[in-house]
Structure 1
Amino acid sequence: MTDETQELIDRIYAELETVIDPELGVDIVNLGLIYGVDLDNEKNVQVTMTLTAMGCPLAGTIVNDIKGALKDLQEFGEIKEVDVEIVWNPPWDKSKMSRYAKIALGVHES
């Protein structure tokens, strides 16, 4: 992976940090919901993520928020299409959260 590609992926992650889980009030990156961001040769973005619970009624909202967060990068021609894939394996659990998210939500390490 080139430095330029890694820099763009880092910027995508930074934009994804602006997407707040409506139920928990913490961004989806720090919650550990983003499993990966892939960029193909045409600069199409594939975001692989999960949700805190299957059947989450806010899945569509979060996907729309992700696409909205990346819109500026699209408008400036840095990326093209954005596809969000929701997966359930591996299942999400509290261990995937960053220290920041655990503190914000009052989750204690056991």
Structure 2
Amino acid sequence: MNPTTPDGRYVVVKGRLWRCSNPALDERERQLLVDELMNARRAVKAAKASGDPSEMRAARNRVQAAKVKLGERGPVWWDDGAPDLNRRMAKNTHYADWYQSLTVERSE
């Protein structure tokens, strides 16, 4: 399982930070948005198979819209002024010591 930063803002995948969904979303709304995201990702797969550029553009726009509504892209969902570190390597952020401690734990 991929670790989540102590503040719950990011999940770390292969050393890279990926913004988590907004925890303030109620469970029903979050599930509807996740369902839409999965449908949009299937539409991207179908568009790749069809080779239709307009179908691909529409499908990718659906993925983007779902991710923004989930809080994974677009404006950050926290309000303390902390910067968005989405897609940055954990070792190059203020999470570096925390992330290093996980790496040490796994190697022991």
Name the TM-score, length of structure 1 as normaliser. Answer: 0.31
More strand by share: 1
What is the TM-score normalised by the length of structure 2?
0.32
Greater C-alpha Rg: 2
